């Protein structure tokens, strides 16, 4: 058994969570216990034990529209606004004219991170564009992720899920434990992403290595970098360039080929249409690698751990698979793997009496919205029968996650395979979380798996 981080366990118990902080909660955090004057959402130490639900419970209750002041950990010279309630996050995400993904007046940079990114990322990287360009760009990829296209993948996804669970069960029986993240949750999204993007399966491990190095701030702070992150970015750029050129000469039935050979509307181009520029293709490849390998694996790991902490629900789902779609939605709400996205105000706007000025940075905290008691009854209870469940794990509006159908299919397939083959996994120690306020990621989650009796 691995060593337990007793600080994390004590905090979890204080907040009414299970000892390892991932299972079904008995009570919500107490907003009164948090000193709001000490909150620094750019101090990554606050996120080292997962998303700080106590902090955001206090913000929702006491400062739902809050100006985060500048400070030593905050990139840039100014602060940023924090929206933490479900209704406010939903409203801002529904108004891309007022809250831009590119930038705003009086601000040289922009994008969807707290730190300003320069032109060359903003307005070019798919998730850092606004309509109409965003929808034109997005339309190249949507046919490959349509309901019909995803249905065609179901048999292959289920076959892969069965193989992954069988291998993990065998490993657990031989070694006494298995890593739920590494050996179960990560494998299916990784295999599927490689196939969908057009990366050979033998190269898929490189995708997750690059994603981990660039998304996990284990060796640097916001606004900074590290030798490991720089090397990973360079390796991914080189690999992506080679693969893009290969698909240019030899198109196949994958997302990258669609992007390379497709055309989008552009009034400034001859004939009003054009192919994507090299920088757009390269940044798209990097985005697909991160999106395809990161969020779904974390939802699977945290969601399965939460379900396993409620063995009665595990049996209930096993006996009635019609409950599985609702359980998947609850896993998405519970894990909410993307904590926030940033926007930039394009005009002065009043939100609950707080004046947000044109050019101000505004952060939409999805993970906080997904625990808002004004939207979800008993939000700190993991409930596989929760309905309705208007979670925001996939975002909202024009930037709603392109891969949401695939993610739901992958989560359902893995849970289905686990229910068929194993008893509720026994967690052997705490989650080891990534150090990031942008990706609530899991590095390791040790469990013991035994065959279904």
Residue 29 has pLDDT above 90, yes or no: no
Give which of 447, 343, 448, 336 is closest to 397, Cα–Cα. Answer: 343
Residue 4 has pLDDT above 80, yes or no: no
At residue 218, the pLDDT reads 66
At residue 213, the pLDDT reads 74
Residue 420 has pLDDT above 50, yes or no: yes
- Residue pair 110/271 in contact (Cβ under 8 Å)? The answer is no
Query: Cα 417 to the chain's mean position, in Å?
Result: 23
Residue 9 has pLDDT above 90, yes or no: no
Lowest mean pLDDT among 120-129, 176-185, 216-225: 216-225
Residue 364 has pLDDT above 90, yes or no: yes
Tell me what the pLDDT averaged over the chain comes to: 89
What are the residues facing 282 on neighbouring strands?
none
Return the percentage of the chain with pLDDT > 90, whole number: 75
Would you say the pTM of this structure is higher than 0.75?
yes
Average pLDDT over residues 395-407: 95
The label of the residue with tokens 């490189």 reads 206
Average pLDDT over residues 283-309: 91
Q: What are the residues whose beta carbons fall under 8 Å from the beta carbon of 152, sequence distance 6 or more?
A: none
- Residue pair 287/255 in contact (Cβ under 8 Å)? The answer is no
Residue 433 has pLDDT above 50, yes or no: yes
CA gap 107, 114 in Å, rounded: 13
CATH numbers and ranges of domains, the chain = 6-448 (1.10.630.10)
Residue predicted with more confidence, 286 or 332: 332
CA gap 411, 162 in Å, rounded: 13
Average pLDDT over residues 95-115: 95
Residue 26 has pLDDT above 70, yes or no: no
CA gap 413, 1 in Å, rounded: 29
At residue 224, the pLDDT reads 64
At residue 221, the pLDDT reads 65
CA gap 211, 232 in Å, rounded: 8
Q: What is the pLDDT of residues 44-74, one digit of tens each?
A: 999 999 999 999 999 999 999 999 999 999 9
Return the percentage of the chain with pLDDT > 70, whole number: 91
Average pLDDT over residues 355-372: 98
At residue 215, the pLDDT reads 65
Tell me the DSSP string of 193-240.
HHHHHT--GGGHHHHHHHHHHHH--TT--TT---HHHHHHHHHHHHHH
Helix (H, G, I), strand (E, B) or coil at 361: strand
The label of the residue with tokens 């009003």 reads 272
CA gap 428, 439 in Å, rounded: 24
Residue 6 has pLDDT above 70, yes or no: no
At residue 30, the pLDDT reads 77
Backbone angles phi, psi at 56, to 5 degrees: -80, -25
CA gap 432, 443 in Å, rounded: 5
CA gap 40, 118 in Å, rounded: 24
Q: What is the pLDDT of residues 197-237, one digit of tens each?
A: 999 989 888 887 887 777 665 665 666 667 887 888 888 88
Residue 28 has pLDDT above 80, yes or no: no
Q: What are the residues whose beta carbons fall under 8 Å from the beta carbon of 393, sequence distance 6 or more?
A: 299, 332, 333, 335, 336, 337, 338, 366, 370
At residue 289, the pLDDT reads 85
Omega before residue 388 within 30° of 0, cis: yes
Residue predicted with more confidence, 294 or 138: 138
Per-range mean pLDDT, top range of 119-128, 292-301, 313-322: 313-322
Residue predicted with more confidence, 176 or 269: 176
Q: What are the residues whose beta carbons fall under 8 Å from the beta carbon of 16, sequence distance 6 or more?
A: 25, 26, 27, 28, 29, 380
Residue 23 has pLDDT above 80, yes or no: no
Average pLDDT over residues 379-393: 97
Tokens of residue 429, six digits: 């120690």
At residue 34, the pLDDT reads 85
In which band, very low, low, confident or very high, does the pLDDT at 309 lie, cut at 50, 70 and 90?
very high
Tell me the DSSP string of 144-171.
GGSHHHHHTTHHHHHHHHHHHHHHHHHH
- Residue pair 142/401 in contact (Cβ under 8 Å)? The answer is no
End-to-end, the C-alpha distance of the chain in Å comes to 24
């Amino acid at each position: 058994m691995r060593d337990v981080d007793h600080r994390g366990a004590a905090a979890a118990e204080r907040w009414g969570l299970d000892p390892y902080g991932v299972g079904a909660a008995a009570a919500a955090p107490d907003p009164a216990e948090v000193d709001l004057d000490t909150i620094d959402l750019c101090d990554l130490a606050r996120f080292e034990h997962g998303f700080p639900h106590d902090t955001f419970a206090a913000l929702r209750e006491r400062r739902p529209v809050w100006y985060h002041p500048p400070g030593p950990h905050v990139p840039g010279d100014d602060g940023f606004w924090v929206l933490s309630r479900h209704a406010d996050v939903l409203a801002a995400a529904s108004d891309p004219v007022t809250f831009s993904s590119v930038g705003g007046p009086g601000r040289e940079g922009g994008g969807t991170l707290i730190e300003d990114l320069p032109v060359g990322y903003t307005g070019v990287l798919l998730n850092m564009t606004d309509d109409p360009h965003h929808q034109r760009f997005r339309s190249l990829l949507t046919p490959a992720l349509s309901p019909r296209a995803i249905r065609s993948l179901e048999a292959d996804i289920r076959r892969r899920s069965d193989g992954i669970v069988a291998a993990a069960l065998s490993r657990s029986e031989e070694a006494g434990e298995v890593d739920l993240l590494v050996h179960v949750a990560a494998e299916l999204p990784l295999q599927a992403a490689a196939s969908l993007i057009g990366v050979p399966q033998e190269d898929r491990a490189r995708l997750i290595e690059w994603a981990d190095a660039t998304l996990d701030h284990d060796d640097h702070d916001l606004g900074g970098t590290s030798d490991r992150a720089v090397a990973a970015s360079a390796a991914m750029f080189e690999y992506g360039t080679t693969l893009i050129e290969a698909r240019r000469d030899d198109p196949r039935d994958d997302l990258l080929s669609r992007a390379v050979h497709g055309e989008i509307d552009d009034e400034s181009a001859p004939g009003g249409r054009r192919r994507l520029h090299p920088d757009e293709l390269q940044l798209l490849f990097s985005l697909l690698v991160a999106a395809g390998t990161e969020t779904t694996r974390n939802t699977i790991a945290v969601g399965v751990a939460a379900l396993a902490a409620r063995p009665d629900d595990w049996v209930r789902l096993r006996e009635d698979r019609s409950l599985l779609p609702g359980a998947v939605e609850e896993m998405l709400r519970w894990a909410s793997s993307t904590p926030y996205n940033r926007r930039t105000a394009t005009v002065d706007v009043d939100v609950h009496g707080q004046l947000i000025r044109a050019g101000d940075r505004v952060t939409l905290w999805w993970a906080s919205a997904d625990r808002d008691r004004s939207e979800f009854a008993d939000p700190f209870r993991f409930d596989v029968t929760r309905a309705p469940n208007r979670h925001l794990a996939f975002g909202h509006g024009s930037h709603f996650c392109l891969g949401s159908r695939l993610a739901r299919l992958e989560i359902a397939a893995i849970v289905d395979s686990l229910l068929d083959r194993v008893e509720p996994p026994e967690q052997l120690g705490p989650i080891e979380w990534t150090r990031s306020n942008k990706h609530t990621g899991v590095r390791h989650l040790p469990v013991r798996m035994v065959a279904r009796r």
